[in-house]
Structure formats: structure tokens, C-alpha cells
Chains A and B, each alone.
Chain A
């Protein structure tokens, strides 16, 4: 097991640990998700069909509209939210939604976070410290 620490901008939300779901694609709760079933539903999305519930979602950035700011909290109220969200670049909607939902959220890492974290990595997100710890089984390569 190897461990690496990645620094980012100070974020919002609590310190959490979970398993990553990572892709070089963008995120919008309205455009991309079936929020009832808890899966990516947009056919063109690289995570189409994958469950995001309880995962540390690692994506390039935000796309789409403003609805995510309500939806993150709504998903959390049904225990159908991701555990944390890491983006290369946030937009205001993601930050507002994470603050409203009390979801762990960070961005601005100084490297492409979707290349630094692979699906299946164990990740500790500490928004107040602006720090992400990534643990990977020795035999695994970044996806």
C-alpha cells in the first residue's frame, strides 16, 4: 500500500474517508445523474451506469446548470449522495451546493486530480486543511 498527499485549496465540508470513483469527465447532478437510483444516467458520461453513492467522486470540473446546489442536499437527505467531491476547477454552484449540503468538497490541486486518483483508491479528504491523502494497493496503477 502506497500513500501520497495532495495539496489543494481549502475547501468546505467535513473530513471523510472513502473509495474513489474517478474519470476525466465533468459533473452536473441534473444533467448526469439518475438521483433516484443513484447512478450516472447520461449515456455519454464516462461513468454511465456507475453508482456514485458513498463514493469520493473525482472529476475534471463542473458543467451544466444551477440545480446541483439544491440537489446535493436532497440526495444527502435520502442517503443517496456521494461522500465527497474533488474537481480540478470548481464553479460557484458546486461550492454553494457543497456548503449547503455539508459535503466534503475541494478543488485547485495544481495537478490533474483525475490522473492522480484512480477508481478504487482509498482517499481521505480534509477540506479544512486543504489536503487529500491517497492510498493505493501496491500492484494497482492509476486508471
Chain B
């Protein structure tokens, strides 16, 4: 890889041990993907929940954070994905104290490096929305696919160590979705029926994601006649990235790099696969268990917007969650603060639900919480969450927000 003077200085250790570690990591990965050089990034989104980091990851961070200030400080604005603990709620959820201790150590290390603890996966809605053409190092599949597709920014999936490396160098290896030629459509789908709600938009992402085989596929979704909302595209993109491990999609006439289908494919437009309500219903039905006792309902993955919290509050007014069922909703600290101020949190919690901040359900020791609370049957309107959570021992059901709430009140899957 070609390196500039500053990159060579980092590699030689002249700018400190953390930056040398960072550029060495980036060169290894860059060579793996045949990158020719590095590209400067303007912001970093860093996934680093302690459930993923473990004790060894936290010790690694502490070693970096012990370097002199001029060596350890991040090079560009760096924000965090949801963490593993909501300090206001973890005791109610029976999360072990030792995990809270690990989380405190990680926060101290990140803060010493100048990382902003935003604890959100919806940073593109709430912190600093990326702009068209901006090169990024984003570290959540949902935030990356949204930034690439809806905003026209440029990022690969940057896992925690890679995003941290990008934060320390201010660069990413130039491969994948930093390159214009990689951003062209490879698969063509046409939508016969418009999804009806957020859960269906997520299910649509799941249907298409299951048909895709690798990170390098770029689906183009035709037939979307009017612009979806930010929350609809959030659920769609998060599920598409989760089921398909893809980082970019185009919607002709809607997303910025796709004025029309012809403009986004190289050569002839491939024949489109049609997706309709029956596909979405079949997907949803593959996660169903009507009549089962319901242990926990989760609204999360991605974290809820203020608008989603208002929807939830409106639907819970005058209702009471069943004593044998928990209802959890997760959002970012900024949105939680707004929801508190506007009375939404109080209305949701008056119904017996819990509003969590700075976490996402699958990133907050989901397996240990299940064991501590005896939870097995989980219901959510998030297609992404039902895809992930089976591996943690849960039996997930996918349904609309309305059906999730009715089931939470009844204490069984309706």
C-alpha cells in the first residue's frame, strides 16, 4: 500500500504506540482486500459493548488509554454504538454487577482517548448525519448501510477494533464501498406491495437479505413509489444488513446514487425478482408461536426514534403490561432525555414497561438476562432482533408494534 509521510511516521511509532498499532491493523486489512492506499475519514462510529469486548478487550483498551495524551487521543470525532449496561436499569434487569464494573472501565478508557460516549446506533438520525460523498468509518451494520444508501456517504463495515484504528489514524484503507466502482447495483428486485408498518419494512429487508450471498452484493429495489420515512428505511436497512451482511442498497428515484434503475447498473438492467405481501407474510410467519406464554417484548435494534417512542406511548395509554411479561424499549441517551422532557417515558412506564437508554437488547448481556429472569419467548417488531436473538437462547416472534403490545397485555403471543 502507498503510505503518505504521516502514515509512515505512524508506522514507525513516531506518533506513539496506539497509532502504530492502529496503522498496522489497517495495513493488514487493506492488503487483504488489495487496497492501494488510505482514505481520510471525517467521523467514526465505534461498536464496543463489553459483551463483545470481554475482559481481554477492556484490558486492551486500558493499555491504549494509558499512553501519553498526545498519543492516545482520537484523530477525528468518534462516537459510540450502544454499550452493554444501562446504569439506571441494570439492577432491575438482574444484570450481574461484574458486567457493570467492566462497562465502567471501558467508558473510562474510551473517555481518556477522547471518544464521545453517545451510546447509539442511530447516530445518523441523532448526532451528526453524514453527507453525500463523505468518507466514514462506521461500526454498526445498520448505521453503515443507512449512511451509505440513504445519505450517499462512503463506509465499509468497520468492526470495533477497525473503527478504533480509524479513529486513531483518521483514515481507513481504501477498498470496498470507498470505491465508486464497488457501489454499482448487482441484484435487482421490484416491490409489488408497499410494506404496511415498520415491522414489515424490516421483514422486507429480511426477505431480500436472505437471497443475498455476500457483502459485495448491492441490491437495487425498484417499485417504491413514494419516499419511505427515515424510520422505515432504518428498519429496512438494519434487517437487510443483518440477514444479508450487505452495506449498501439503492432505491431508484429515492436514494441519492440511483436516479433510476438504468443509472445504477453497469450494462443492461438485470431482470428483477418480484417481492410482495406474500413474501413478507411468509417471512413473518417463520417467526411465530401463537398462544405461547410470552416472557418479554422488546422494541429495539435499532434504537427507537422519538417518533417511535411516541407511537409506543400512544398505544400503551390506558393499558397495563401483564405481570408475567416484561416490555422493554431501548433508545439513545439524547432521545431518552427528550422523551423524559416530553412525558413519553412516563406514559410508557406507567403501563408497566421500561425505557432503556444507551443500550440495545442484544448488546446488553441478553443470554445472562434470559437466565436471570427465566425468559425464553421474546416478541419484537424488529426483524434484525429476531434474527440475532435465537443464538442467545431465545425463541423469537416477529410482529407489528400493535400486536406486540396486545400480546404484552395478554401475557401470551396473540
Contacts and interface: CB of A to CB of B under 8 A. Distances in A.
A99 B32 contact: yes
B213 A92 contact: no
B33 interface: yes
Contacts of B158: 66, 92, 96
A61 interface: yes
B135 to A, nearest CB: 15
B361 interface: no
Looking at A31, A60, A65, A88, the one whose CB has the most chain B CB atoms below 10 A away is A65
Given A66-B140, A74-B52, A93 B159 contact: yes
B162 A92 contact: yes
A67 B387 CA distance: 14
B242 A96 contact: no
Given A31-B391, A66-B159, A70-B160, A10 B31 contact: yes
A7 interface: no
Nearest to B387: A31
B362 interface: yes
B161 interface: yes
A96 B215 contact: no
Contact of B47 (A34, A60, A66, A99): A66
Contacts of A65: 140-141, 241-242, 388
Contacts of A10: 31-32
B56 A77 contact: yes
Interface string B36-63: 0000000000011100111111001000
A102 to B, nearest CB: 10
B391 A89 contact: no
Interface string A2-39: 00000001111000000000000010001111101000
A58 B264 CA distance: 34
A12 to B, nearest CB: 5
A135 interface: no
Contacts of B391: 30-34, 41-42
Contacts of B243: 63
Contacts of A55: none
Interface residues of B, number: 45
B161 A61 contact: no
B159 A68 contact: yes
B157 A66 contact: yes
A118 interface: no
Given A33-B391, A67-B47, A89 B213 contact: yes
B52 A67 contact: yes
A74 B56 contact: yes
Contacts of B133: none
Contacts of A90: 32, 215
B17 to A, nearest CB: 16
B213 A96 contact: no
A30 B32 contact: no
Contacts of B55: 74, 77
Contact of A95 (B33, B49, B390): B33
A88 B161 CA distance: 23
A63 B242 CA distance: 7
B129 interface: no
Contact of B162 (A42, A89, A96): A96
A96 B214 contact: no
Looking at B28, B31, B392, the one whose CB has the most chain A CB atoms below 10 A away is B28
Contact of B160 (A63, A69, A99): A69
B140 to A, nearest CB: 6
A64 B29 CA distance: 19
Nearest to A62: B245
A71 interface: yes
A34 B51 CA distance: 12
A96 B33 CA distance: 11
Interface string A43-62: 11000000000000000111
B139 interface: yes
A92 B160 CA distance: 11
Nearest to B24: A99
B53 A74 contact: yes
B159 A67 contact: yes
Contacts of B388: 30-31, 64-65
B255 interface: no
B90 interface: no
A11 to B, nearest CB: 7
A70 B245 contact: no
A9 B390 CA distance: 33
13 contacts: A36-B367, A44-B390, A64-B387, A66-B47, A66-B158, A70-B53, A70-B160, A70-B161, A89-B213, A93-B157, A96-B158, A97-B161, A100-B162
Given A12-B28, A64-B141, A96-B158, 4 more contacts: A44-B390, A91-B157, A95-B29, A99-B28
Interface of A: 9-12, 26, 30-34, 36, 41-44, 60-71, 73-74, 77-78, 88-93, 95-97, 99-100
Give the top 9 A-B pairs by smallest Cβ distance, nearest first: A69-B159, A77-B56, A74-B54, A91-B215, A96-B162, A70-B52, A100-B161, A42-B391, A99-B28
